[in-house]
Chains A and B, each alone.
Chain A
C-alpha cells in the first residue's frame, strides 16, 4: 500500500495497474531513434544502430520523470496504425492492450511530412500522444526549420524537439511528460 501512496499523484486515471506504475510507450517509424530515447529515459541499454529494424521485440525498463516512476516500453518500428509485418503487429498490440498513459510518437524531423499521417492516426485513436521531433540536429543542418509551437496548436497535442543522440531536449521531454501526466490527473 505504501508504494502506491507514494506514486499516487502519478496515476493518470483510476486504472489499477499490475506493476503499480504508469506506462509510457515509445512508437514510430523504424530508425527514428526510439531506442536512443528509451536508453536516455531508463538508463538501460538496448541495441541502437543506424538501420531500420534493429528492435524486433518490446523492451521494458523503468525511469524516473519528475517525482514519478514510469514503466517505459520501446517498440519495433511501425509505419502506420495498420500493421503489415509481424514486428508492426507486436507494436500495435501493445497500444491496444496495455493502455499506456503516455504515447511518445517519435519522428525524424527531416521527414516530418511523411510521418505526420501516423500522428494523426494516433490522435484519432484517442491515445495520449506527445509528438517528439527527434534528429533535429540533422534537420537543421539540412536547412529545415519547424515551428513546433504552431504545430502544437494545429494538432492540439504537446510537441517536443529533441536530438536524442546528442542528449539534447531530453530534459524538456521529461518536463513535458511530467506536465502532461499532471494535467490529466488534475
Chain B
C-alpha cells in the first residue's frame, strides 16, 4: 500500500486548461460544486450555468464571457464535443484496464429474442400473441368475464343490492332518497357496484398484465416496432407507453402523455386517447357484447383501428409544431419480479380509486338529478331521432347518454338491449363503434381539462361528438348496402 496512486482525472488540452484556469481566477462567487467544474460547464456552453454565473459575478461576467468566446474561436468543432471526447478517452482507458470481457459467454438467447420482437416480420405476430393472451384472454375473458360475473352477478346482485334495497324500502319513505342511495342508479347500487364489481377486476387484471409487460422490457421494443406507424399519425415510438396504457384507463394515460416531448404530440395523443382507444372497462363490456357475433366484432375492430389511423394521420397534417426525433434506450429483456409487479399494480389501483372513485359517485348523483328533474328524459327524447338515423332503436338513446358518465355504462346499457333481443348484428356493430368513438368519460374529460387546458379540450370534444355519429351513420348505410343485418 506504500505506492499511493494519484487518482486519474480529466485533463483537457493546453488551450482549454489555460482557459479553465483563467475562468477559475475570475470566479469570485460561492458555488456548491468546484470552480473547475463550473468553468468546464461554461466552456461547454451550459446555458443554465451561464445564467447562474452571470448573476453571481455581476461585472466580472464580461471577462469570463470573453474567455469563453475566444477559446471557442480556436476550434472548428464545438467545445462541448471536444471536451466530451477527452472525458470519453480517459473513461475508456480506465475501463479497458479494469473490465475483462469473456466473449464466449452466452448472450445469444436474450439477444435473439430481443431482435425477434423488433423485426416487423416476427415482431407483429409476437405482438398479436401478447395482445391476444394478455389483453383478450387474461383481461377480457378472465377479468371482465369470470371475476366480474362473480363479484357483480353473485355478490352484488344476489346479496348486496337486494339487502340495500330492502333496507331502503323498509326505512326510507321518500322514493327520491331511495333512488339516490340504491335502486337502479343509486350511489351504492350503481356507483359503488361499478367501481368494485366491474372496474376493480378489469382494471386490476389490466394493470397486473401491464406491469409484467413493463418490467420485462417489452414496451420499448414495441415502441421500436411501431415507431414507423406512429410517425404517420404524428407521434413516435415514445407514445406507445401512454397509448397502450389507455387500454387500461384513458384517464391515467392522458396524465402519462406528459412524457411526450412536444405539445403537438401531447395534443394528438390526448385526442386519439379520447376518440379511439377504448379503456379496459369499455373493452371488457364491448367484447362481451360482441362475442356472439364474430362479424360484428371484426367490423368494430376494423372501424376503430381505421378511425385511429385516419384521424391520427389528418391531425398530424393539421396540427402545427416540430416533429421530434425518436431515441429510446432499449433495456435488456428481464424476468419481471413478482413482488414489484404486485407492488406496482397495488399502487396504481390505489391511485385509480383515490382519483376516480369520487367521480363515479358524482356521476351517480348527476344521473339521479337528471332523472329526478326529468332533464334526462328530455335529452333522451332529443337523442331518439339520432338513434333512428343510425338504424338503432329508441332505447339505445339511454345507453349513449350514460356513456358520457362512464365509457362502460353506455356499453353496459347496450348489453341489456342485446339481452332483450332488440339489436341485430348490424346494429350491434354500429352501436358499439359509435359508442367507442363517442366522448370520453367524465374523469378523462376533467383530466384533459387539467392537462391540456379548456380550449384544446372543448375543441377535441366538439370534434368527437358529431364525428362519432357521422361514422355510425356512414357505417350503417354501408352495412345496409352490403345487405348485412
| Chain A residues with a Cβ under 8 A of chain B | 30-31, 45, 47-53, 56, 80-83, 85, 89, 92, 95-97, 99, 110, 112-113, 116-117, 119-121, 123-127, 138, 141-148, 150-151, 153-157, 165
Q: Which residues of B contact A89 (CB under 8 A)?
A: 48
Interface size on B, residues (CB 8 A): 59
User: Does B259 contact A99, Cβ atoms closer than 8 Å?
Assistant: no
Q: Which residues of A contact B98 (CB under 8 A)?
A: 146-148, 150-151, 154
Q: Are A120 and B10 also in contact (CB < 8 A) when A52-B331, A56-B258 are?
A: yes
* Interface membership of chain B positions 93-126, coded 1 if the CB is closer than 8 angstroms to chain A and 0 otherwise: 0110111111111110000000000000000000
Name the contact of B329 in the complex, choosing from A30, A119, A151 (C-beta under 8 A). Answer: A30
A51 to B107, CA, bound (A): 20
Within 8 A of A (CB), among B73-104: 80, 84, 87-88, 90-92, 94-95, 97-104
User: Does B32 contact A99, Cβ atoms closer than 8 Å?
Assistant: yes
A127 to B102, CA, bound (A): 34
Q: Are A50 and B334 also in contact (CB < 8 A) when A31-B329, A154-B98 are?
A: yes
Within 8 A of A (CB), among B244-270: 258-259, 261
Q: Are A145 and B99 also in contact (CB < 8 A) when A51-B214, A52-B331, A138-B332 are?
A: yes
Q: Which residues of B contact A95 (CB under 8 A)?
A: 32-33
A30 to B220, CA, bound (A): 13
Q: Which residues of A contact B7 (CB under 8 A)?
A: 123, 153-157
Q: Are A117 and B87 also in contact (CB < 8 A) when A49-B214, A144-B100 are?
A: yes
B17 at the interface (CB under 8 A from A): no
User: Does A31 contact B331, Cβ atoms closer than 8 Å?
Assistant: yes
25 A-B contact pairs sorted by A residue (CB < 8 Å):
A31-B331, A45-B347, A48-B215, A50-B214, A50-B334, A51-B331, A56-B259, A81-B41, A82-B80, A92-B48, A110-B332, A113-B95, A119-B91, A120-B10, A126-B37, A143-B103, A143-B105, A144-B101, A144-B102, A145-B100, A146-B98, A146-B100, A147-B100, A155-B8, A165-B337
User: Does A50 contact B217, Cβ atoms closer than 8 Å?
Assistant: yes
Q: Which residues of A contact B220 (CB under 8 A)?
A: 51-52
Q: Which residues of A contact B5 (CB under 8 A)?
A: 153-154, 156
B34 at the interface (CB under 8 A from A): yes
Query: Could you list 11 further interchain pairs (A-B, Cβ under 8 angstroms) beyond the known A125-B37, A142-B105?
Result: A48-B344, A51-B219, A53-B259, A56-B258, A95-B33, A117-B88, A121-B37, A124-B36, A147-B100, A151-B94, A154-B8
A43 to B343, CA, bound (A): 13
A56 to B255, CA, bound (A): 13
Q: Which residues of A contact B328 (CB under 8 A)?
A: 51-52
A31 to B219, CA, bound (A): 13
Q: Which residues of B contact A99 (CB under 8 A)?
A: 32
A145 to B105, CA, bound (A): 11
A84 to B87, CA, bound (A): 18
Q: Which residues of A contact B87 (CB under 8 A)?
A: 117, 120-121
* Interface membership of chain B positions 208-224, coded 1 if the CB is closer than 8 angstroms to chain A and 0 otherwise: 00010011110110000
Name the contact of A47 in the complex, choosing from B44, B90, B105, B347 (C-beta under 8 A). Answer: B347
Interchain nearest-CB distance for A98 vs B (Å): 8
User: Does B88 contact A97, Cβ atoms closer than 8 Å?
Assistant: no
Interchain nearest-CB distance for A130 vs B (Å): 14
Centre residue among A95, A112, A116 by max chain B CB count within 10 A: A116
Interchain nearest-CB distance for B476 vs A (Å): 42
Name the contact of B104 in the complex, choosing from A30, A143, A150, A165 (C-beta under 8 A). Answer: A143
